[in-house]
Structure 1
Amino acid sequence: MQALRRPYFWHAIYTKSRAEKRLYKELCSKNIECYLPLKKELRQWSDRTKWVEEPLIRSYLFVKVSEREYYNVINSAYAVRYVTFGGKAVPIPEHQIQALRIFLDDENRKVDLSHENLEKGELVEIMGGPFKGIKGEIMQIKGKNRIVIRFDSLGTCVYTDISLDMIKQVQPVA
């Protein structure tokens, strides 16, 4: 008899304050696939300046789990709860996690985070450079053209500067 294969979905976990890296380490040690988006920041202390890696989205960690691992994750000492709507954990599409990884893999590009309730713009695809093939929404923010990947389930948008000649308009999927 063939074993039943359970589907795996990405979900966002709300962590205890400043415990993102500890939860990531714990879940990795349990062989649970997880992703902690980090950004490098230059920090200034009174005696030195140092580059540090900080979570891009404070108090959030992404996990890819089946129903079986779902409760193992939340039983961690550093996890608070899943990000939910209507009492149910919201799955995050694989392509959004992959796009976030690609954005953050380019160390020469400054990536910011916005919690503004941004209006939907035109759907575009990047035609060249390290982001080639990434789709997102184009927006006008503080006078600069930026490409946006919207994470509706978190109420968050990731955006970065990009030239308009590097994008083409695409039709929304019906």
Structure 2
Amino acid sequence: MNIEKKWYVVYSKPRWEKKLYAKLLEAGIEAYCPLNKVKKKWSDRMKTVEVPLFTSYVFVKILENQKSKVRETPGVVNFVYEEGKPAVIREKEIEKIQRFLEEYQNVEVVPSEFHKGQIVKVNEGLFVDEEGKVIDTHNNKVRVVIKSLGYDLVAEFDKSKLSIGK
């Protein structure tokens, strides 16, 4: 049996990244929520705030037998899957993200380019966790066909709200 902890990614409920991170730590689960320092302007001042680098993603370092404990944590939607199994993230990748955020502020995450015919997964909004097929891309928008109730629903999404599907 493998007793080595591995890094995985879990989807959080929308805007729950920081809350989920705290709940995972409370449950004794090693977790990482990369936070980006961003300058926000209010009418009377500028302020640096920390916002999650990856929308709806929190990283967990766990043993294989801790997956159910993670799934049961309030705020967890599911693991991010790759080829039918929870995606394993290399330790080096986590370290790169940590070093990158130590060195830079106001970082922008730009998703991989999507192409026509590709299957994508919706990460936010009404269609969260639904998969569809890309029919067109333009600038920062992606038109996606989602099958529902025997119909083809065509919707336009910001690239930031999509990830590559199965």
- Structure-1-length-normalised TM-score: 0.61
- Does the Cα contact within 8 Å between 1:12 and 1:61 map onto a contact in 2? yes
Runs of 4+ with >4 A deviation: none
Unaligned runs of 5+ in 2: 115-162
Matched, 1:33 2:41: no
TM-score normalised over the length of structure 2: 0.63
Q: Tell me the amino acid that sits aligned with residue 108 of structure 2.
A: D
AA in 2 matched with 1:34: A
Tell me, which stretches of 5 or more residues in structure 1 are unaligned? 119-153, 156-174
Q: What percentage of residue pairs aligned between the two structures are identical?
A: 35
User: Structure 2: how far apart are the matches of 1:7 and 1:75?
Assistant: 21
CA contact 1:16–1:80 (8 Å) conserved in 2: yes
1:60-102 deviation per Cα after TM superposition (whole angstroms, max 9, x unaligned): 0000111221111111110101000233101011111111111
Q: Does 1:17 align with 2:14?
A: yes
- The residue that corresponds to 1:92 in the other structure is 89
Partner residue, 2:113? 117
Is 1:44 aligned to 2:68, yes or no? no
SS at match of 2:25: helix
Aligned residues: 116
Amino acid at match of 1:81: N
What is the CA RMSD across the aligned residues, in angstroms?
2.0
Q: Is the 8 A contact 2:8 2:88 kept in 1?
A: yes
